[in-house]
Structure 1
């Protein structure tokens, strides 16, 4: 099974939590059906990406990265790579790379938390968003892709991050 096939399977089976998410789910599936290279950065106009919100449920904190290019506090995430066998693999790889938490991160079961379509300097990102639980002994390390990396209390997130991160956190908390 290719990453493209996995993405189509995941999105086909995913139960969207509301009508807006259902519209995005169908748009992502249409994108994959019409773009064989729809998973890759080289796909013109838009491509799927994968991200993961790293949370510490015991401490009610979330780890955000100050993105080097976008200069925004965001969840960990980015482009899918050829070695990613699944969307979950891509989201977990991005979370590990950008958080520096090499072991112990675990995605919440049940598949994606939300979908988010947003414009970036390279193209439209059709982001498939997951949530990852950090281990109790997690030690974060800033990556080359970040200007900063910081734990924020859940109630601090609306003051530092945009609405998409707030929605992702709210949906993640509802699933915990």
Structure 2
């Protein structure tokens, strides 16, 4: 399913908290979020949302591509939101993979921007009579990622991209993006404070960004040595793929506690980068306390999971793929 409106509103609100001077320019975007047709579809006019991935390597260069459809302009990789993109960041990650061949596993979020866009650009798009499209605008959400390896080969999507280029931050063509990248609190290289993991599902959709637990990071699980990662679970990740009814209850719970629901996700990863244990912890003092742990002992084979229940509730077994 495409990104839900609440997810987009949260990103816009966080962005405007950092850049209140752009409120007026983004008023039409806020209005579009209330329109009958979703703002991520290609058809809503006079404007809709697109997403870009700004990839920065270890020496502080930005990956740009020469898009065929742009008349030769140098742009960050990006494009329209597809129906399978669960979040706007997932759109950006899919686009950089499709256009340059760089998989999501070789990218990680930056400490400067985390899961929020570094820039939301309002871009005028000329009319395209061949496609029956009048002139309109794109609200381009630009997400920033660090390249994990020192070097990576790129393979362009020839029908979309003519070539790739790595340029210094101060040569980024977009003035608004360039200004924000140059002002961001980082050096040329990612700061090696903790190991981190960007978690995706099998379709490459972004789910969660985890950091290592420095105390007792190495521990055996199911007979293998693992690395334990942990992070607060954002509301965006917590409600991902929930039904509208369940998401509504989660929103009510968030309002009740006056902020993010205090949920923590932990993942134990073996040396072959397979998740062997997953744990979700929820602790609201005086209300709800829950810890759910899933250990996969037969990796790649069907497993049977007994779901722990509260006293008086019925137990149920659920078949999962490990």
Q: Please tell me whether Structure 1 or Structure 2 has the larger radius of gyration of its CA atoms.
A: 2
- Does the Cα contact within 8 Å between 2:119 and 2:180 map onto a contact in 1? yes
Residue 87 of structure 1 pairs with residue 88 of structure 2: yes
**Correspondent of 1:128 among 138, 141, 146:** 141
Given the superposition, is the C-alpha separation of residues 74 and 104 from structure 1 closer, same or farther in structure 2, using an over 3 Å criterion? same
Matches of 2:182 and 2:98, distance apart in 1: 23
> Do structure 1's residue 24 and structure 2's residue 25 form an aligned pair?
yes
Q: CA deviation at 1:139?
A: 2.0
In terms of fraction of residues, the more helix-rich structure is 1
**CA deviation after TM superposition for structure 1 residue 174, in Å:** 2.4
Residue of structure 1 in register with 2:123 after alignment: 118
**Which residue of 1 is the match for residue 283 of structure 2?**
none
Unaligned runs of 5+ in 2: 127-132, 187-322
In structure 2, the residue matched to 1:64 is 64
Moved more, 44-53 or 81-90: 44-53
Taking the aligned partners of 1:105 and 1:30, their CA distance within structure 2 comes to 33
Distance in 1 between residues matched to 2:46 and 2:157, nearest whole Å: 27
Kept in 2, the 8 Å contact 1:61–1:151? The answer is yes
Return the alpha-carbon distance in structure 2 between the equivalents of residues 138 and 35 of structure 1.
Answer: 42
Inter-CA distance 16–99: structure 2 relative to 1 (3 Å threshold): farther
2:169–2:182 contact (8 Å) kept in structure 1? no
Aligned residues: 169
**RMSD in angstroms over aligned alpha carbons?**
2.1
Q: Secondary structure at the match of 2:144?
A: strand
CA distance in 2, matches of 1:156, 1:112: 20
What SS does structure 2 have at the residue aligned with 1:85?
coil
Q: Spell out, residue by residue over 1:43-64, the C-alpha distance to the aligned partner (whole angstroms, 9 max, x if none).
A: 23211111121111x2121110
Q: Distance in 2 between matches of 1:168 and 1:91?
A: 15
TM (normalized to structure 2)? Answer: 0.48
CA-CA distance at 1:76 after TM superposition = 0.9
Contact 1:24/1:115, CA 8 A, preserved across alignment:
no
CA–CA distance in 1 between the matches of 2:181 and 2:169?
11
5+ unaligned residues in a row in structure 1: which ranges? none
User: How high is the TM-score relative to the length of structure 1?
Assistant: 0.84
- After alignment, is 16-25 or 108-117 more displaced? 16-25
